[in-house]
Amino acid sequence: MDFTFTEDQLLFRDSVKDFLQGEVTAETVRNLWDTESGRSDALWQQMVELGLTAMLVPEAYGGLGMNELDFVLLAVESGRVALPEPLVETAMVATPLLASLAQKDPRCASLLEKIATGEARVAVQHSVNALVADAHIADWLLLPQGDQIHLLARDQVSLIAQDSVDPSRKLFDVEWQGSDETCLARGAEGVALLAATLNRGALGAAAQLVGLAEAMVQISVQYTTDRQQFGKAIGTNQALKHHMADCAVKSEFAKAPLYRAAYTLATRPEHADFAVSHAKVVAGEAALLAAKNSIQSHGAMGYTWECDLHIWMKRAWALDKFWGHAGFHKNRLHHWLLKPTAKIGADKTFGEQG
Amino acid sequence: MDLNYTPEQLAFRQEVRQWLAEHVPAEPLKSFDTAEGFEQHRQWEKTLAEGNWGMVTWPKEYGGRGCNLIEWLIFEEEYYRAKAPLRVNQNGIFLLGPTLMEYGTDEQKQRFITKMASGEEMWAQGWSEPGAGSDMAAIRSKAIRDGDEYVINGQKVWSTRAVFADWVFCIFRTDPESERHHGLSFIFVPLDAPGVTVRPIPQLDGLPGFAEIFFDDVRVPVQNRLGDEGQGWHIAMATAGFERGLMLRSPARFQQTAKRLVELYRDHQNDILDLSIEDAVVKSFLDAEAYALSTYQTASRLIKGGKIGAEASLNKIFWSELDQKMHETAMGILGARAELLPHSAAAGDVGNWLDGFLFAQSGPIYAGTNEIQRNIIAERLLGMPRK
Ligand SMILES: Cc1cc2nc3c(=O)[nH]c(=O)nc-3n(C[C@H](O)[C@H](O)[C@H](O)COP(=O)(O)OP(=O)(O)OC[C@H]3O[C@@H](n4cnc5c(N)ncnc54)[C@H](O)[C@@H]3O)c2cc1C
């Protein structure tokens, strides 16, 4: 029993954190809002060079053969800077799905190689989400239909853009026609792969939500230290201190569930539903509270487009509902926990729940 | 990261489970806030000590087993699972014990830890005073040096289990000219020393769970001082860290309550009208689990040489508010019967929940109020401005 990350995992997290903090500032994010695609190829290439897109690609296809546990801290950092690029979706959600199919399907194998080298990006649709994120810059799309999973190139589908409250989010309705040729998996295999995809998507969103929550608190602490009223920093007022402390408590107790979810997905994916839903629910709560208490701590300034806070708030509001909103995940938890046969107890915390 | 128990840890769990199955009293003990119940609990401490189960993390020489913190968590899980008696000496073993190991002289460790572990000597904590609650640095009770002794005068209050305990560990002002957190020292006083008067204070349940202690020219040898003169505040903060952080409230306690709550919910599923209760039950279970996960993380970090600091305040808020929430939810499930005292004929299974509900109200107050913890988090962890 050892509930810590390795030195290597922490060191890599630190270097990715430094990179992201340096390259992805509020200004970067705002500049991207004014571009056609909202995305930066240059930034993507830098992430490719750091090996980020290759992390979960198996070694056989030119990747690093790592898992969700290796990636989860990087997803937290992506959230901390409100990264607009679909790094988490490509590297941690789409890639393992392709990897599951690569042995029997050469298209998936070659796509994995291209993801590792930065030549291809992949978007994923799932019935739990209304829309597909970043379909416009994806070279390929993974599209479910019932128990089937199809792979189509972007020029085989038509996209209808839908605007999100978060100007960084690029969402699309995808219209497409599958065929036997485009079908990668079906039946029980398709269902299982889609279930695993959902869990990775929810883990990725949960991780980003934790990063977003911590970032908002940091921004608000700075603001309340600088801003003066009644001749002193507003942050000296206990009401604001307690707003921030409440956020810190929520974030802190979202982290261990998040790490357990990553571990469970990496080691026992078929038993990960409970851990993942737990993580998604509490990470969403932490981020929503951080958004609410942060805007309150900023006063009217927080209600403006000019103040950077909304970059993080809006991402939090969006990701809380992405890959399963609280209702979806709570239903899974309730269903499992309240059935009379559920075996519960402190000795089963690390057992096969869900 | 490896979230599997080792074969040794699994074997350890079995060993604990078996020993507890053989030794936990079949009949629940009387409340340790009664004279009879206190002695029953003292007896239980002796039983634990005889099996070397009193404090598994302590070195073997002090009656422990030299277990690491993960093994301690396993022990606690089994302990609550077996519904073993609450630890009457928790102020001693969970708070003073670790502090003694860190700051005590060899003689003090020999003298005090062994008897604490064996259940022979029960400890109370004497920090709060009528004028020094949240503001502990306002302590006024004095211990003035006179040769090889201190002469103590003053008053402590809210001292848990001091009514029946043998010793109290206190913070006194040893430098009468000093102010605030300077000039304080950490001193042990036997509760039967001449000049000590203990006045029981009934708690919400009517039992004298804590006491006021009056000191009237009480003399103790300087060897009863822990650490240096004037180091009292510093040592007290370390003890408070144990109190809020890890030892005092192990996650197993809350997981056991959460499990009982889920079972209570299942039993009453068809007569619950309040729709929010189901969500509160599930949320309670998840929060108890989150607290356990977080504690396993902290334990793993500490084993590798990490330290626990101001984040202890995060824990204290989380477990105390969780405990309140769980008991509120149970009362909601029990509905109209929730108010009945356990001995009422119509009470059924409400008794435990009601007791727990009452005690849960004190969680956000003792061990430093949750408002004070929020101040600590904001200022020390997040760096918000003090003035
Ligand atoms: C069950 C129980 C057992 C206890 N056992 C012991 C024991 O064994 N030994 C011991 O020494 N003490 C013990 N205590 C005392 C405990 O440590 C104190 O109650 C606690 O420190 C608060 O002090 P107080 O009761 O004087 O409340 P006060 O300090 O008067 O506080 C009253 C209210 O004001 C708030 N408040 C005070 N100052 C501030 C501030 N700066 N900012 C915001 N809010 C503030 C508090 O949060 C609280 O809500 C026990 C208490 C309880 C309830």
A137-188 per-position pLDDT tens digit: 999 999 999 999 999 999 999 999 999 999 999 999 999 999 999 999 999 9
Least CB–CB distance from B1: residue in A2, A246, A278: A2
Probe site for chain A from B293, B307, B369 (most A CB atoms < 10 A): B293
Whether chain A has a CB inside 8 Å of the CB on B305: the answer is no
Quote the pLDDT of residue B186: 98
Task: Tell me whether residues B81 and A334 touch, CB distance under 8 A.
Answer: no
Instruction: Quote the CA–CA distance of B256 and B289 in Å, as a whole number.
Output: 10
C-alpha separations of A242 from A183, B362, B368 in Å: 53, 20, 15
Kindly tell me if the per-residue pLDDT of A76 is higher than 70: yes
Instruction: Quote the CA–CA distance of B124 and B159 in Å, as a whole number.
Output: 6
Q: Hey, what amino acid is at B15?
A: E
Instruction: Quote the CA–CA distance of B355 and B330 in Å, as a whole number.
Output: 12
The DSSP-derived string for B109-172 is IIIIIHHHHTTSS-EEEE--BTTBSS-GGG---EEEEETTEEEEEEEEEEEETTTT-SEEEEEE
Whether chain A has a CB inside 8 Å of the CB on B186: the answer is no
Residue in chain A lying closest to B386 (CA): A236
Kindly tell me if the per-residue pLDDT of A192 is higher than 90: yes
| Beta strands at A140-145 and A122-124: parallel, antiparallel or unpaired | parallel
B179 is catalytic: no
Tell me, yes or no, if the pTM score tops 0.90: yes
DSSP code of residue B381: I
Provide CB contacts within 8 A for A181, sequence distance 6+. none
For residue A159, what are its two tokens? 């996209």
A197-237 per-position pLDDT tens digit: 999 999 999 999 999 999 999 999 999 999 999 999 999 99
Using 50, 70 and 90 to split pLDDT, how confident is the model at A353? Answer: low
Kindly tell me if the per-residue pLDDT of A95 is higher than 60: yes
Quote the pLDDT of residue B244: 65
The arithmetic mean of pLDDT across residues A14-40, rounded, is 98
Question: How long a stretch of residues is chain B?
Answer: 387
Quote the pLDDT of residue B387: 85
For residue B109, what are its two tokens? 């460790």
For residue A252, what are its two tokens? 């802190």
Quote the pLDDT of residue B358: 96
Whether chain A has a CB inside 8 Å of the CB on B80: the answer is yes
Q: What is the CATH number of domain B249-381?
A: 1.20.140.10
- Kindly provide the ipTM of the predicted complex, given to two decimals: 0.95
Helix (H, G, I), strand (E, B) or coil at A142: strand
For residue B22, what are its two tokens? 């053989």
Element (H, E) at A71: helix A68-80
A104-148 per-position pLDDT tens digit: 999 999 999 999 999 999 999 999 998 999 999 999 999 999 999
CA torsion B36-B38-B44-B48 (nearest 10°) is: -170
Phi and psi, residue B171, nearest 5°: -115, 125
DSSP code of residue B129: B
Yes or no: say if B170 and B189 are a contact pair by the CB < 8 Å rule: yes
Tell me the best of B169, B366, B379, B384 to mutate to test the pocket of ligand 1, counting ligand atoms within 8 Å of each CB and taking the most.
B366
Residues of A in contact with B289 (CB under 8 A): 257, 278, 349
Least CB–CB distance from A2: residue in B300, B383, B386: B300
Kindly tell me if the per-residue pLDDT of A100 is higher than 90: yes
Instruction: Quote the CA–CA distance of A338 and B263 in Å, as a whole number.
Output: 9
End-to-end CA distance of chain A: 21
Quote the pLDDT of residue B240: 79
Residue B305 sits at the vertex; the CA angle it makes with B302 and B307, to the nearest 5 degrees, is 60
Stretches where chain B sits below pLDDT 70 are 242-245
Ligand 1: does its nearest atom lie under 6 Å from the Cβ of B344? no
Task: Tell me whether residues B81 and A338 touch, CB distance under 8 A.
Answer: no
Residue B376 sits at the vertex; the CA angle it makes with B132 and A214, to the nearest 5 degrees, is 165
Strand order in the sheet with A170-175: A132-133, A170-175, A158-163
Provide CB contacts within 8 A for B49, sequence distance 6+. B63, B117, B118, B119
Instruction: Quote the CA–CA distance of B370 and A50 in Å, as a whole number.
Output: 44
Quote the pLDDT of residue A25: 98
Q: What is the CATH number of domain A189-340?
A: 1.20.140.10
Kindly tell me if the per-residue pLDDT of A354 is higher than 70: no
Quote the pLDDT of residue B309: 79
In chain B, where are the structural domains located?
Answer: 7-88, 123-231, 249-381
Quote the pLDDT of residue A130: 87
Whether chain A has a CB inside 8 Å of the CB on B287: the answer is yes
Decide if domain B123-231 falls under CATH 2.40.37.10.
no
Question: Measuring CA to CA, which residue among A179, A209, A190 is closest to residue A127?
Answer: A190
In chain A, where are the structural domains located?
Answer: 189-340
